[in-house]
Structure 1
Amino acid sequence: MTSPGWQTISTTFMKNDKPYGGGNARINGNDVISLKITDPEITFKPVSQRKDPEYAEPTEAWMNNTAETLNRNTVSFFRGTIDGGLRRYFLQPGQDASWWYSKDWSTQYISTDWMDYKIPEPKNGLSPHITKLWRSRDGGKNWTQLDWPENRNIGQLLFLDPDRGYAVGWGPRVWRTADGGRTWKAITVSLHATEDDAPRKTFDAVDLGPDGTLRVAYYVPQEMEDVQAEAMVERLNWDSDAFEPDVKLPGQIIVSLQTEQVLPDNAYAVYALSRIGPPRDFIKNPNENGHRTGALSAWGNRGKQTAEQTHTFDSRLMLDGLSVGKRGVLLVYATDATGEGAPRDITLASRDYGKSWTETNDGITQGVYFDAATNTQYGLYAYTLKKRIW
């Protein structure tokens, strides 16, 4: 199996938006939507106005203050076309964000997260964060702020359709809505997934299957000699209010959970990308580099399942993410920092459900994403947007 070649589709992608960056873009033919987190633009005085001509001097005083620049980070939503350019329709303060969009792009949800870097950090290190939730019903052109407690973090938004979905945040915690985000119901999370001294703990991975099953993964350390450390995956059916065990991966930490497109008989496979070994522990092992060999496991969505480890990756690679396409296409994203120079972005690809793999050195990219419906991978190199179809 050989890797398909990259095809250039634009050399000026989002070039007019400053500061530079393509954002978390999605592409459908010539149409584009993008969620972008942006630092404020820093400008400098001309040489004639500087106190010292040898040193660059920001135009305004706040531009030389790190806390102030962080406070002015913004979250933007863009929509437009590759050849005609993109227009900003949403702009809110925030240093972090999550989003969801419907298949036809008619509905979008965005959560923004902002903290004040100018106030002293509390002794417990838990600086206050402000979370806001927004929804658009007209393709992102107009937005409504939904009722959401500002101290309730949202790290992920996963929806079945424009009205039914989940918000997942620190704790970890899970909430469900069936009315387009107007009301939310808290779902109880297993105590094994939480830690009393880590109120901002998150799941290691989360996925919403095509049948509405929410799966979450977390690591359970070895607390007793007869209890093995393992990655636990639990599932929550849409019509249930309680998580139940799905599978266990002994001695591993899950990096990503992904499900394939639903098959005609509603059966599908669940894939887990994981790292073999315990979590990194700087306190006990300060000199440990944290490198772990990666593995891929799979199981089905029906009945009691056992995960099968289908592949172990080269030990030099640090696994970053997983995409599952149609007709057996799997992509694993990894970083190789073992050679000279800058780390290289690697795409590992399989077209036979993980039985065989090819490795492609993609250099240094900025994304953008994989379209599972068409098996199309997009990559951004500066202003040059490329695609390849697996």
Structure 2
Amino acid sequence: MARRWVVISLLLLLTVGYVVGGSGMWDRVSNDFMKEDKPYRPGDFRIRDGQVLSMKLTNPEITFKPREERSDPNRAEPSEPWMMDVGEFANRRSVRILGGNLEGEISRHFKEPAQRTDWWLAPDWSTLYLATGWSDRTMEIPSGRRYLPEITQLFKSTDQGQEWEKLRWPEDQNITFLRFLDPQRGYLIGWGPRVWRTRDGGEHWDELPVPEDSRNPENPRQQFDLVALGQDNVMRMAFYDHAADVSRIYALSWGEDIPQQAFTIPGHVVMDIAANTESNVYVLATRGAPYFSLPSEERDAPRPSVVWRWNDDSLDKLHEFPPELKGYALYLTPSGGLLFDGVNESTLLGNDVVAVSYDGGGSWKIQNEGRSAQGGYYDVQTGTRWRVTGYSLYQREIP
């Protein structure tokens, strides 16, 4: 039965046009991209006219004693005791902002203790916002609470990350997502869930109401499944309603104070939303209830990724991908195409996969981009896709 399923899946891939990634797919740009910053990770980087900015959430670097100083010469031994302590190790995690150019040095501009973080970078790179969260993992959870207290901070830079201003923000109010229209106007979204809005570049914040159904009285750290800001300047929030077995998508236009339910998708969890300037909304969703809410015996059932379209009138199912292709992002390309970004989980190590449609989601061309990368992103302004594998930086165009 398993073999039959694999054969069927392969046939489905062939029907939509499977293209194996080859040497001609990618152009190598650098052989030592961000190699000097240890421990190595490219981070959540952006590239513009040869310049690089990266937000890197990183673990502390582990070093080891020379052989002659070890208690057992045949076993590696960390240099300092804290390196063996899980809580102390977590406490030393940090976020770094790095910048420079592809032809020269990329250096560290900023570092702050953090175990979670999100950032927003203006399209012209004029402004950066950065939110951090940190808790003391060596503490005991206080009596009567489910979680350790977390300290939240909010920072802003107006010179490409060289200098930073710490904005006023209550440290006990979590920030999970930053969504900005421009350097002056934007939203913060945190646990609860809660939503705040600024009109003056972060000087003042107003809290906005959220849908009651999105809250869970038993979980103060409840979050939206997805928060997306479209090209139409509408913020959309999605959450799964277990009682009704639907995902509810709410919309909040700039200037409005109360989000309104726009549509629902039965039996699916929303992974991403992309909307153009005409408010045509495209949704990437996974069939079924949220994974960790399922009984263990149901978690191995096929969970195909599906692309939907909402046009203010009707919800249309555009395409369902084979179950082994797990989608996690959906983009609008500069020429108006749709780009599905995901992983082929049928391979041992997982291959990165994209699928592109230029006819509104009717037909898709699937492309295997190779073994899963260490980092990368798709630039919706230029149509350039970036990828890092083994210190090497590659690019390709998806217009």
User: TM-score by structure 2 length?
Assistant: 0.90
The yes-or-no answer on 1:155 pairing with 2:176 is yes
Alignment partner of 1:110: what SS?
strand
2:196 maps to amino acid: W
Q: How does 1:265-284 map to 2 (within 5 A)?
A: 267-280=278-291, 284=295
Match of 2:153 among 132, 157, 180: 132
Query: Is residue 2:121 matched to residue 1:110?
Result: no
Hey, what does 2:256 align to over in structure 1?
Answer: 240
User: Is the contact between residue 229 and residue 236 of structure 2 (CA under 8 Å) also seen in structure 1?
Assistant: yes
> What CA deviation, in whole Å up to 9, does each residue of 1:84-115 have, x standing for no partner?
12121111000111001111101000001111
1:194 alignment partner AA:
R
Secondary structure, counterpart of 2:371 in structure 1: coil
Which residue is 2:11 aligned to? Answer: none
Whether 2:390 is the aligned partner of 1:382: answer yes
Give me the whole-angstrom Cα distance separating, in 2, the residues matched to 1:15 and 1:335. 25
2:344 matched to 1:323? no
SS, match of residue 370 in structure 1: strand
What is the one-letter code of the residue matched to 1:35? M
Letter of the 2:44 partner, please give it. N
Decide which of 112, 129, 138 is 1:92's aligned counterpart.
112
Change (3 A) 1:283 1:384: closer
Choose from 34, 41, 44 the match for 2:64.
Answer: 44
Q: Which moved more, 1:317-326 or 1:75-84?
A: 317-326
Q: Secondary structure at the match of 2:29?
A: strand
CA deviation map 1:59-100 (0-9, x unaligned): 111112121111001101111111212121111000111001
Q: What aligned pairs does 1:162-177 form with structure 2 within 5 A after superposition? A: 162-177=183-198
Deviation of 1:166 after TM superposition, in Å, equals 0.2
The residue that corresponds to 1:347 in the other structure is 354
Unaligned runs of 5+ in 1: 223-227
Once residues 372 and 71 of structure 1 are traced to their aligned partners in structure 2, the CA distance between those partners, rounded to angstroms, is 35
CA distance in 1, matches of 2:290, 2:157: 39
Report which stretch shifted further, 310-319 or 283-292.
283-292
Structure 1 residues 199-254: Cα deviation after superposition (integer angstroms, max 9, x where no partner): 111111111123321111111123xxxxx421111111111111112121122111
> For 1:71-82, what aligned pairs fall within 5 Å after superposition?
71-82=91-102
Q: Does 1:16 align with 2:36?
A: yes
**Equivalent residue number for residue 211 of structure 2:** 190
Matched, 1:337 2:356: no
**What secondary structure sits across from 1:347 in the alignment?**
strand
SS in 2 for 1:235: strand
Q: Are residues 360 and 283 of structure 1, via their aligned partners in 2, closer, same or farther at CA, if it must alter by over 3 Å?
A: closer
> What is the number of residues matched between the two proteins?
376
Q: Deviations over 1:320-348 (max 9, x none)?
A: 22222122322222222224x22222222
Matched residue SS, 1:34: strand
* Counterpart AA for 2:41: G
1:291 touches 1:318 (CA, 8 Å); kept in 2?
no
Shift of 1:350: 2.1
Alignment gaps of 5+ in structure 2: 1-16
More helix by share: 2
Matched, 1:298 2:309: yes
Q: Which residue of 1 aligns with 2:12?
A: none
Letter in 2 for 1:310: L
Greater CA drift, 325-334 or 59-68: 325-334
Say which of 318, 322, 325 aligns to 1:310. 318
Q: 2:231 aligns to what?
A: 210
- What amino acid does structure 1 have at the position aligned with 2:286? R
- For 2:374, which of 355, 366, 388 is the aligned residue? 366
Normalised by the length of structure 1, the TM-score is 0.92
> Where does residue 10 of structure 2 map in the other structure?
none
Does the 8 Å contact 1:329/1:375 carry over to 2?
Answer: no
User: Whole-Å Cα distance in 2 between the matches of residues 39 and 149 of structure 1?
Assistant: 26
Task: Give the partner amino acid of 2:94.
Answer: T
Q: Secondary structure at the match of 1:70?
A: helix
Aligned to 1:251: 267
1-structure distance, mates of 2:127, 2:371: 35
8 Å CA contact 1:295–1:312 kept in 2: the answer is yes
RMSD: 1.8
1:225 — aligned with what?
none
Match of 2:73 in 1: 53
What whole-Å deviation, never above 9, does each CA across 1:7-41 have from its counterpart, x for those lacking one? 11111000000000100000113111100011111
Give the corresponding residue for 2:9. Answer: none
